[in-house]
Amino acid sequence: MSDHIMQYLLADGNIRLFAADSRQTADEARATHALSPTATAAVGRAMTIAGMMACDIKNTGSITLNIRGDGPLGALCVVARPGVEVKAYAQYPQADVPPKYSGKLDVGALVGKGRLSVIRDLDMKEPWVGQVDLHSGEIAEDMTYYFAISEQQPSLVALGVLLDRDTTVRAAGGILAQLMPGCPEQWVAALEQAGAGLTDISRQLQSSASITALVERHFGHMGLVRIGEHPLAYRCDCTQERIERALISLGKEELDEMITQDGAAEVSCHFCNKTYRFTRRQLSGLRDEAAGKEG
Ligand SMILES: [Zn+2]
């Protein structure tokens, strides 16, 4: 079955819940960037939560997660757009760390500690930016902390990626449940209890017939109402024009240097590795545009 995100209301509308099956999306990221096993888990988890967050934004809006830890993975960037389309980029995609004692991939050690920022571009004049310290690098815990501190939104976040022996993705997905304002205490307690059953979500994703079955097992007693379903896929939205704009933003001086040193330019998209070629003549045109902007 292709990847998708289910959207629910539960607890008489006091809790909203997103549940993602992101196996193919995570595996596409692995193949695109030749991600190491632990990097596949880190990127897969980050894409899954970004995808769920993008379910309720519209048109040309987007959600960007920038995870800047001090671990071997370096910077990790994920962008999710309505649809839901996600793309990811990791600075050192092949970096890896030994698994934990239980054989669990040590995402926390690969990502490290640092900063987590979320950019919510909701098609308005200024995007909304929230930032918190990255405490664990495990991503689900850090996002829970982010929602609580930066958005004042108590949330349950569970994310999992399970790899096969050949390091392809066997299962990936996640749950995001958020309390609506004024949620009665008994539902808060029920959600906490349900959340406690999701600590080994990677294994449960593999053993469940579907993400829907997993949601029903843990939240079925809380008055679950399905309100939507969104497809999810790894897709880059880069275009020649977008790359041109990026080159123009480098400025006249930098473009002059490219023209005199190399004559032409080859620019690869960070998110999908597609290569765009620019001749000397095209670069000169972009240089003139940059000069016009600066002048
Ligand atoms: Zn691209």
- Ligand 1 centroid–CA 153 distance in Å is 32
By CB atoms closer than 10 A (0-12, 13-18, 19+), residue 120 is middle
Distance CA 233, CA 88 (A): 12
pLDDT at 124 over 90: no
pLDDT tens-digit map of 171-205? 999 999 999 999 999 999 999 999 999 989 999 99
Question: What kind of architecture, by CATH, is found in domain 240-294?
Answer: Alpha-Beta Complex (3.90)
The one-letter amino acid code at 200 reads D
The two beta strands, 265-268 and 233-234, are unpaired
- Which pLDDT score is estimated for 126? 87
- Ligand 1 centroid–CA 287 distance in Å is 23
The one-letter amino acid code at 261 reads Q
Distance CA 72, CA 52 (A): 27
- Ligand 1 centroid–CA 77 distance in Å is 13
pLDDT at 4 over 70: yes
The strand pairing partners of 66, in sequence order, are 77, 117
- Ligand 1 centroid–CA 256 distance in Å is 25
- Ligand 1 centroid–CA 224 distance in Å is 38
Domain 4-234 sits in CATH at: 3.55.30.10
- Which pLDDT score is estimated for 244? 92
Most confident of 38-42, 102-106, 196-200: 38-42
- Which pLDDT score is estimated for 60? 82
Distance CA 40, CA 232 (A): 17
- Which pLDDT score is estimated for 123? 77
- Ligand 1 centroid–CA 268 distance in Å is 8
pLDDT at 101 over 90: no
pLDDT tens-digit map of 250-292? 999 999 998 988 888 899 999 999 999 999 999 999 999 998 8
Ordered by start, the domain boundaries in the chain are 4-234, 240-294
